[in-house]
Structure 1
Amino acid sequence: MAAEKDMPDAAPPPDPSLSRTAAPDTANSSSTPSQTIHIGTRKSLLARVQADEVVRHLKAAWPQHNFEVHAMSTTGDNNQSTALHKFNEKALWTQELEVLLQSGELDLIVHCLKDMPTQLPKDLVIGGITKREDPRDALVIKPSLAGKYRTLAELPAGSVVGTSSLRRIAQCKRFYPHLKFTDVRGNLGTRLAKLDDPQSEYSAIILAFAGLNRLGMGERITQHLSKLSGGDERVKELVHAIGDERTTREGLAERQLMRTLEGGCSVPIGVETEWVSRKGLHDTGVGIGVKPAEEYHKLTGIAETDLGDEEGKESEAMELTDELIMRAIVISLDGTDAAEVEARRRITSRQEADEFGFEVAKQLVAKGADKILEKIQLDRGIIQDQGNA
């Protein structure tokens, strides 16, 4: 995901999107003179790997340009002791880079989509979203226990499982009440080191599959658990050439749901989307429109799937329809209360993706999601007042 700065005299497209809805088939590498594009990212190894991946795509699309990556630490990087849900800021991983983007020192910045605040500064827009990696969570077991256990369900009662995600903690408490879930901070390498320490309390940690895979650490997985500137046409064209339209529409729908519920990475909201395959459409025979979809899938939280379930996905991807399924859940911090929705709708534009996310958010509110989130905000305010006393 890349962001760019909005030019003052330009009318920005609907946030977060580009002014055009489809990427060109090929980038024009001959009509534009050579330029140096300055790209910002965080200093962590994973952030650098992701930025380098974007640079590779940009070089392939625009070989005449030079791309320089500039890395810096952010608030979230500098404070490694406070649990993420105790921060009041919603731009933990982006604010310092956004300042440089707004000042013109950077042309674009690269972030994980999950780290982007749902409300961007008015002069910034999302310029492109590259093809989505596997979005699932992944379980990593302590090496000394890996021979005995492979899944959360197998771990003995009272085992400590670390994660930096409030959403993961809330989901896991709901479905694995026999385990103890605690916060673990640090970059990916630091968290793995904490797990592998024979003296640490952790029996396992939950991480993003995509991060482990990008750093070549996929073998550690024992279980798969289920800013651009609107008016800067130069940078928008660069990033647009490497965007994936289906993934962009997925991201827009998910972000609209999060924005409607006023949720970021510090509240227990889970959402995922997937396109309906043509085979699935024929099997179900259900018409188009926003509606409950329990007959297609049952939202059960974190899925226990076999590592080989990716087989055949490439061929199936060629048969995807324009119908999108969204599954979303809001869970109380103790895991006892939850509001969950699954719906599907035909999505043929970015605007329709935005509308879909908003409609699903309204369904969650109707099922009590607003009351769960209000209770979390109240508890957080009490904790902050006590800290300031």
Structure 2
Amino acid sequence: MTAERALRLGTRRSKLAMTQSGHVAEAVRQLTGREVELVEITSYGDVNRAHISQIGGTGIFVTALRDALESGEIDFAVHSLKDLPTAQPDGLTLAAIPEREDPRDVLIARDGLTFIELAAQSPTGAARVGTGSLRRMAQLNAYAKSHGLRIETVPIRGNIDTRIGYVHKGELDAVVLAAAGLNRIGRSGEVTDFLSTDIVLPAPGQGALAVECTARNGELAATLAELDDPVTRVAVTAERALLAALEAGCSAPVGALADLLADGQIVKEMRLRGVVGSADGSELVQLSTTGPVPSSEDEALALGRELAAEMLAKGAAGLMGERAL
């Protein structure tokens, strides 16, 4: 009897992408008993070194993977969910959204400083904080302005090593990264401050992975669905519905987080928070809504759309067009 061929899992080439895809590959091996082969795919976002806001962030890290799925070069793909466009293409299905990692942003700063310490004590004037995200810029600048702190946000690109290297070389005082990525590659010990979501809301879907395959491969989709975490799925669905209703791409200055509110061990409600801001922090629209935990994706979609409508009524649309730095 001929052994089944290895399943081919498409992944970006970065260390982080390979690591998180490796975790999914091992889970699929345990589920199926089949070998899983990682297939490295180079995305447009990996080869174009311009800032994401200038080349158009929507889909730049996922299009090549999706093309490989549709052509049959790979069987399934693993994405960082925050990189996925909100519109799901015909013929592809998000078979699983596994349990989410820490969604927060973190600071890696010189001398082990926290954000407040860095911004309050910079010896050269404004502390230089590097980030590749307009969302982070908007919220950090807004917080600094409202608390009398001095920072200068500096646009950067590159992998985790490159970004942290700016701090080690003294070119920047700090960089802001996603906690989830550092946790997955075992570098969370370098974090000097976990930024409260009251200061910086993460990108919609941040910390979550998306496992995608073709809709026609129903058997594989059903197998991958065993990796799905229902709580994570409804939370990120609400966040991404807000993003979609704002008609914003994943490079826009939009933050969102849906979290569960518990009374002891009993989960009572879900709170969804959203923010849109100008990169300099001078304008910020931030609202939240709380209600029953959605029992379906449709209810989660409705929650996100309702909050987006309130944000648009408060002027969020006027902040959505900001792309250039």
Short-chain TM bin = 0.7 to 0.9
Aligned twin of 2:69 = 101
Are 1:207 and 2:154 matched, yes or no?
no
Aligned twin of 2:157 = 185
Among 281, 303, 308, the alignment partner of 1:335 is: 281
Aligned to 1:333, the other structure's residue is in SS state coil
Distance of 2:51 and 2:194 partners within structure 1: 24
Aligned to 1:263, the other structure's residue is in SS state coil
Aligned twin of 2:299 = 352
Q: Which amino acid aligns with 1:122?
A: D
Aligned twin of 2:251 = 266
Q: Which amino acid aligns with 1:171?
A: Q
Aligned twin of 1:79 = 48
Write out per-residue CA displacement over residues 213-262 of structure 1, whole angstroms, 9 at most, x where no aligned residue: 11111111111112332332112112101111100111111111111112
Given that 1:165 and 1:265 are in contact with CA atoms closer than 8 Å, whether structure 2 keeps it comes out as no
Aligned twin of 1:175 = 143
Runs of 4 or more off by more than 3 Å in structure 1? none
Displacement of 1:113: 0.6
Given that 2:118 and 2:127 are in contact with CA atoms closer than 8 Å, whether structure 1 keeps it comes out as no
Displacement of 1:125: 2.4
What is the alpha-carbon root mean square deviation over aligned residues? 1.7
Given that 1:153 and 1:176 are in contact with CA atoms closer than 8 Å, whether structure 2 keeps it comes out as no
Superposition TM-score, scaled by structure 2 size: 0.87
Aligned to 2:64, the other structure's residue is in SS state helix
Distance of 1:50 and 1:68 partners within structure 2: 14
Distance of 1:195 and 1:72 partners within structure 2: 29
Aligned to 1:69, the other structure's residue is in SS state strand
Given that 2:105 and 2:195 are in contact with CA atoms closer than 8 Å, whether structure 1 keeps it comes out as yes
Given that 1:39 and 1:108 are in contact with CA atoms closer than 8 Å, whether structure 2 keeps it comes out as yes
Report the identity percentage.
Answer: 30
Write out per-residue CA displacement over residues 294-346 of structure 1, whole angstroms, 9 at most, x where no aligned residue: xxxxxxxxxxxxxxxxxxxxxx5xx324x211000111122111111110122
Instruction: Give the 3 Å change call, closer, same or farther, for CA 79–174 of structure 1 in structure 2.
Output: same
Aligned twin of 1:52 = 22
Aligned length: 299
After the TM superposition, which residues 63-78 of structure 1 pair with which residues of structure 2 at under 5 Å, given as runs? 63=33, 65-78=34-47
Displacement of 1:35: 5.0
Distance of 1:264 and 1:133 partners within structure 2: 22
Aligned to 2:7, the other structure's residue is in SS state strand
Distance of 2:29 and 2:143 partners within structure 1: 45
Superposition TM-score, scaled by structure 1 size: 0.73
Distance of 2:71 and 2:224 partners within structure 1: 19
Aligned to 2:260, the other structure's residue is in SS state strand
Q: Which amino acid aligns with 1:128?
A: A
Displacement of 1:34: 4.3
Distance of 1:89 and 1:112 partners within structure 2: 13
Aligned to 2:227, the other structure's residue is in SS state coil
After the TM superposition, which residues 233-272 of structure 1 pair with which residues of structure 2 at under 5 Å, given as runs? 233-272=218-257
Distance of 1:136 and 1:371 partners within structure 2: 26
Distance of 2:15 and 2:182 partners within structure 1: 11
